[in-house]
Amino acid sequence: MSAELSGIDLARQALAAAREAAKENGADWKRRSGTVVRRDGREPLGLGSAISMMMTERGMVTPAAGGGVLA
């Protein structure tokens, strides 16, 4: 009794076949590490940096930290 393969199983088989074909053709599979830097201006940002950039672009000012006038 053979079970039909689901989408994820087919994807795994296709990936394994692609890796095997790449090995036969002399390609070297190395995992990429580090941060992704896109050259079209869409670099990944942290949430705080993204909010600060958005506020600067819209001309908003963050309130000054500290006391008020009467403090």
Q: What is the pLDDT of residue 1?
A: 41
Residue 14 has pLDDT above 70, yes or no: yes
**What is the residue range of 47's domain?**
32-57
Whether residue 41 is contained in a domain is answered as: yes
Q: What is the pLDDT of residue 16?
A: 92
In whole angstroms, how far apart are CA 30 and each of 15, 17, 18?
14, 16, 14
Whether residue 40 is contained in a domain is answered as: yes
Q: Look up the pTM and report it.
A: 0.34
More confident residue, 61 or 17: 17
Whether residue 50 is contained in a domain is answered as: yes
Q: 57, 30, 29, 27: which is closest to 41 by C-alpha?
A: 57
* Domains: count for the chain: 1
Cα distance between residue 11 and residue 19, in whole Å: 12
Whether residue 53 is contained in a domain is answered as: yes
